Amino acid sequence: MKPVRVGLLGLGTVGGGTFNVLCRNAEEIARRAGRGIDITHAAAREYDAARLPGIENIRVSDDAFAVVDDADIDIVVELIGGYEPARELVLRAIANGKHVVTANKALIAVHGNEIFAAAQARGVMVAFEAAVAGGIPIIKAVREGLSANRINWIAGIINGTGNFILTEMRDKGRDFADVLAEAQQLGYAEADPTFDVEGIDAAHKLTILGSLAFGIPLQFDKVYTEGISHITREDVNYAEQLGYRIKHLGITRRTTAGVELRVHPTLIPDRRLIANVDGVMNAVLVNADAVGPTLYYGAGAGSEPTASAVVADIIDVARTLTADPENRVPHLAFQPDALSDLPILDMDDVETGYYLRLCASDKPGVMADIARILGDGGISIEAIIQKEPQEGEQTVPVILLTRGVRERQMNAAIRGIESLDSIEGRVTRIRLEHLSSR
Ligand code: HSE
């Protein structure tokens, strides 16, 4: 059979990795795909030829539109990232009848509904395994491996940079900015690293997971998104004393009132496997009705781990090129005419446990006031730490863990606590999840 011809957009961290993996493993890949896979045309503004042996044998220019318009290309692989011109290039590739493979989570989360509709109408595939959790085949697992199940919830560490920063802060006491700089140097961080530290990248990925799990359209604008930039070493240490780890989680859960889509730092019991996922590694815990909990672990970022997912998609597309479009695996796991309009819950209506840290005057009655406000709000305290005042200090840190309560109730209680004369500054709040399999 004739080889499949691939056009590559981008020769950076992931594009370079994809080129190298496809070249290095060409023979084995052809045995898997049933035909050869040849990159024949690439576009990149700049690239390091010394790290891409064999690149001199293909046509490379800086014109991405020339690749998507190249009549000889069967599959366009978009690895430039960002919203534009990626959207325009992908839509043009689809209009030209080409299949698309992309690692672009921002593009899929924000423009995926439009892109999938265009692909459906043109009878081409858009594959995006590398968009979520790098090298972990989580999309295939949720979309195909778990297709017998009703999924209850998914919780994942889906931003490698953020997990790397939290791990280094905890284990080595390193400074936030210093670890972020290292993540950038290693090629883990986004072009704009605020996407990593403010949770936007994780929100892109969670949007995709929520749609695959529950058969809902992609709704990035409804994700509650909070980053890790306000997490301090103190909080990491207090959490540990209480038997918890702080992880930046993306959580999507089906409730009777709607679907939760939320990204925020979260205390999780340190005995959970996912609590021990460190460094740039990602992990996704899926709770489904038939199989129960399953956990997927691996490198969430980096050149060849991400390329592993990109190349698997190229092989998948190559294998099913001739299949009837109606019988391919649907982009969002559910048939496009069977998506559901389940509402996305407002964060106020989400129920979780909480870690609260506050700074209280060292005088009688303060704890009673705090307990009264929480009690009046129907909030039950699960654990408490009060430190002795340091010499010369008039205030003491108080750390509380609460049972599950609606965010709206907690907001009211925090307002009440902050208005007490005996409380200094703002209350730090970090959400808490037990992630038990029940
Ligand atoms: N910046 C992303 C991360 C890259 O750190 O997870 C992989 O999507």
Question: pLDDT tens across 5-35, in order?
Answer: 999 999 999 999 999 999 999 999 999 999 9
Q: What is the rounded distance in angstroms from the CA atom of residue 237 to the CA atom of residue 300? A: 25
Residue 61 CA to ligand 1 center (angstroms) comes to: 27
Q: What average pLDDT score do residues 137-155 get?
A: 98
User: Atom 7 of ligand 1 has which residue's CA nearest to it?
Assistant: 301
Q: What is the CATH number of domain 138-298?
A: 3.30.360.10
Could you read off the pLDDT of 384-409 as tens digits, one per residue? 998 777 777 888 999 999 999 999 99
Tokens, residue 342: 């389940």
First to last CA, the chain: 50
Residue 188 alpha carbon, nearest atom of ligand 1 = 5
Instruction: Look up the CATH architecture of domain 4-135+303-338.
Output: 3-Layer(aba) Sandwich (3.40)
pLDDT band for 438, please (50, 70, 90 cuts). Answer: low
Residue 196 alpha carbon, nearest atom of ligand 1 = 1
Q: pTM of the predicted model, to two decimals? A: 0.96
Q: What is the rounded distance in angstroms from the CA atom of residue 422 to the CA atom of residue 366? A: 7
Q: What is the rounded distance in angstroms from the CA atom of residue 410 to the CA atom of residue 153? A: 23
Test site for ligand 1: of 167, 198, 201, most ligand atoms within 8 A of the Cβ: 201
Q: What is the rounded distance in angstroms from the CA atom of residue 381 to the CA atom of residue 359? A: 17
Q: What angle do CA 91, 94, 95 make, to 5 degrees?
A: 85
Residue 243 CA to ligand 1 center (angstroms) comes to: 28
User: Atom 4 of ligand 1 has which residue's CA nearest to it?
Assistant: 301
205 is catalytic: yes
Test site for ligand 1: of 179, 190, 197, most ligand atoms within 8 A of the Cβ: 190
Residue 159 alpha carbon, nearest atom of ligand 1 = 6
For residues 253 and 152, the answer to whether their CB atoms sit within 8 Å is yes
Residue 301 alpha carbon, nearest atom of ligand 1 = 7
| Backbone torsions φ then ψ of 384, nearest 5 degrees | -150, 140
Q: What average pLDDT score do residues 410-432 get?
A: 97
Test site for ligand 1: of 128, 136, 138, 159, most ligand atoms within 8 A of the Cβ: 159
Q: What is the CATH number of domain 350-432?
A: 3.30.70.260
Q: What is the rounded distance in angstroms from the CA atom of residue 393 to the CA atom of residue 220? A: 45
Q: What is the rounded distance in angstroms from the CA atom of residue 228 to the CA atom of residue 165? A: 9
Write out the H or E segment, with its range, that includes residue 100.
Answer: strand 99-102
Pocket of ligand 1 (CB under 6 A): 134, 159-161, 188-190, 196, 201, 300-301
For residues 133 and 109, the answer to whether their CB atoms sit within 8 Å is no
Q: Which residue spans of the chain are classified as CATH 3.40.50.720? A: 4-135+303-338
Residue 19 CA to ligand 1 center (angstroms) comes to: 19
Q: Which residue spans of the chain are classified as CATH 3.30.360.10? A: 138-298
For residues 133 and 282, the answer to whether their CB atoms sit within 8 Å is yes
The three-state (H, E, C) secondary structure of 47-86, written as one string: CCHHHCCCHHHCEEECCHHHHHCCCCCCEEEECCCCCCCH
CA distance to 120, 255, 354, per residue, from 258 (Å): 27, 5, 21
Instruction: Quote the crossing angle between the two packed helices 160-172 and 233-241, to the nearest 10°.
Output: 70
Residue 280 CA to ligand 1 center (angstroms) comes to: 8
pLDDT at 38 over 70: yes
All residues at 6 or more sequence positions from 221 whose CB lies less than 8 Å from its CB, including other chains: none
Residue 388 CA to ligand 1 center (angstroms) comes to: 41
Q: What is the rounded distance in angstroms from the CA atom of residue 307 to the CA atom of residue 50? A: 18
Residue 412 CA to ligand 1 center (angstroms) comes to: 35
- pLDDT of 363 reads 83
User: Atom 1 of ligand 1 has which residue's CA nearest to it?
Assistant: 189
Residue 195 alpha carbon, nearest atom of ligand 1 = 1
- pLDDT of 388 reads 77
Count of helices and strands (H, E) across the chain: 14, 16
Percent of the chain residues past pLDDT 70, beyond the cut: 100
pLDDT at 381 over 70: yes
Burial environment of residue 210 by CB neighbours within 10 A (0 to 12, 13 to 18, 19 or more): buried
Q: Which residue spans of the chain are classified as CATH 3.30.70.260? A: 350-432
Q: What is the mean pLDDT of the chain?
A: 95
CA distance to 139, 202, 322, 371, 372, per residue, from 286 (Å): 12, 16, 32, 36, 38
DSSP state of 220: G
All residues at 6 or more sequence positions from 121 whose CB lies less than 8 Å from its CB, including other chains: none
Active-site option among 205, 222, 363, 387 = 205
Fill in the amino acid letter for 372.
R
DSSP state of 363: S
Q: What average pLDDT score do residues 259-287 get?
A: 97
Q: What average pLDDT score do residues 211-216 get?
A: 98
Percent of the chain residues past pLDDT 90, beyond the cut: 88
